Amino acid sequence: MLAFIIRRIGQSILVLLIVGLVAFSMFNFVGDPIDNMLGQERTAEDIERLRIQLGLDQPFPVQYFKFLQEAVQGNFGVSYRQGRPVAEILLERAPATLELAAVSGILAIIFGIALGVFTAIRRNGVLANIVMSASLIGVSLPTFLIGILLIYVFSVELGWLPSFGRGDVVDLGWWRTGFLTESGLKALILPSITLGLYQMTLIMRLVRSEMLEVLRQDYIRFARARGLKDRAVNFRHALKNTMVPVITVIGLQLGAIIAFAIITETVFQWPGVGLLFINAIQFVDIPVMAAYLMLISVMFVGINLAVDILYFFIDPRLRADRAGGH
Amino acid sequence: MVEPVLSLRNLSVEIPTRHGIVKPVDGVSYDIGAGEILGVVGESGAGKSMAGNAVIGLLNPPAHIAAGEIWLKGSRIDNLTGEAMRRLRGKEIGMVFQDPLTSLNPLLRIGDQLVETMLTHLDISQSDAEKRAVSALEEVGIPGAAERVNSYPHEFSGGMRQRVVIALALCAEPSLIIADEPTTALDVSVQAQIIALLRRLCRERGTAVMLITHDMGVIAEATDRMAVMYAGRLAELGPVRDVLSHPQHPYTHGLMASTPLASAGKSRLHQIPGAMPRLDSVPEGCAFNPRCPYTTEKCRQAPAPRPESTSAACWYPLAREKAS
Asked if residue A172 has pLDDT above 80, the reply is no
Report pLDDT digits (tens) over A183-219: 788 888 888 888 888 889 999 999 999 999 998 888 9
Tell me the domain boundaries of chain A.
Answer: 86-269
B263, B281 in Cβ contact below 8 A?
no
CA distance A4 to chain B (A): 21
Find the mean pLDDT for residues A84-88. Answer: 85
The mean pLDDT of A238-264, rounded to a whole number, is 85
Q: Cα–Cα distance between B282 and A183 in angstroms, integer? A: 74
Among chain B residues, CA nearest to A237: B105
Residue B294: what pLDDT? 79
Decide if B58 and A320 are in contact by the 8 Å CB cutoff: no
* CA-based torsion, A242, B104, B157, B181: positive or negative: negative
Q: Which residues of chain B have pLDDT under 50?
A: 321-324
Task: Report the C-alpha gap between B286 and B233 in whole angstroms.
Answer: 10
Mutate to test the interface with B, among A219, A229, A241 (most CBs of B within 10 A): A219
Query: Measuring CA to CA, how many Å separate B182 from each of A219, B33, B195?
Result: 15, 20, 8
Partner residue facing B105 (CB), from A227, A237, A244: A237
Tell me what ipTM this predicted complex has. 0.85
**Rounded Cα gap, residues A101 and A97, in angstroms:** 6
CB contact under 8 A, A236 and B108: yes
pLDDT reported for residue B264: 63
Distance from CA of B169 to the nearest CA of A (A): 7
Question: What mean pLDDT value characterizes chain A?
Answer: 83
- For residue A325, is pLDDT > 60? no
Residue A242's closest chain B neighbor by CA?
Answer: B107
The CA dihedral of A257, A260, A263, A266, to the nearest 10 degrees, is 70
Cβ contact A190:A265 at 8 Å? no
Task: Tell me the shortest Cα–Cα distance from A226 to chain B, in angstroms.
Answer: 4
Size of interface A-B (CB pairs under 8 A): 83
pLDDT tens digits for range A14-69:
988 888 888 877 777 777 777 777 777 777 788 888 888 777 777 878 888 888 88
Query: Given B107, B152, B155, which is nearest A240 (Cβ)?
Result: B107
Q: Which residues of B touch A223 (CB under 8 A)?
A: 105
Q: Which of B313, B320, B319 shows the shortest CA–CA distance to B289?
A: B313
Share above pLDDT 70 across residues of chain A, in percent, rounded to a whole number? 97
Taking CB atoms and an 8 Å limit, are A222 and B95 in contact across chains? yes
Q: What does B177-210 look like in DSSP terms, one character per residue?
A: EEEESTTTTS-HHHHHHHHHHHHHHHHHHT-EEE
Is residue A299 scored above 80 in pLDDT?
yes
Chain A residues with CB under 8 Å of B95 CB are 222, 225-226
Segment A82-100 mean pLDDT:
85
The residues, ordered by sequence, that sit 6+ positions from A316 with a Cβ below 8 Å of its Cβ are: B106, B107, B152, B154
Chain B residues within 8 A of A320 when measuring between CB atoms: 152, 154-155
Say if residue A323's pLDDT is above 70.
no
Contact call for residues B98 and B183 (beta carbons, < 8 A):
no
Q: Nearest CA to CA, how far is B226 from chain A (Å)? A: 24
What CA–CA distance (Å, rounded) separates A27 from A31? 8
Cβ-nearest to B103 among A218, A236, A244: A218
Cα dihedral B221→B307→B295→B268 (10° resolution): 0
A322 inside 8 A of chain B by CB: no
d(CA A321, CA A319): 6
Which of B89, B107, B108 minimises the CB distance to A225? B89
Phi, psi dihedrals of residue B14, rounded to the nearest 5°: -125, 145
B225-230 and B37-41: which strand pairing? parallel
- Residue B323 has a pLDDT of 39
Euclidean distance between CA atoms A240 and B320, whole angstroms = 58
Indicate the residue of A219, A229, A320 with minimum beta-carbon distance to B105: A219
> Which residue in B100, B106, B105, B103 sits closest to B185, CA to CA?
B100
Which fold would CATH assign to domain A86-269? MetI-like fold (1.10.3720)
Buried residues in B297-324 as b, exposed as e (16+ CB within 10 A): eebeeebbeebeeeebbbbbbeeeeeee
Q: B65: which strand partners? A: B13
Q: DSSP letters of B94-137?
A: EEE-S-TTTSS-TTS-HHHHHHHHHHHHS---HHHHHHHHHHHH
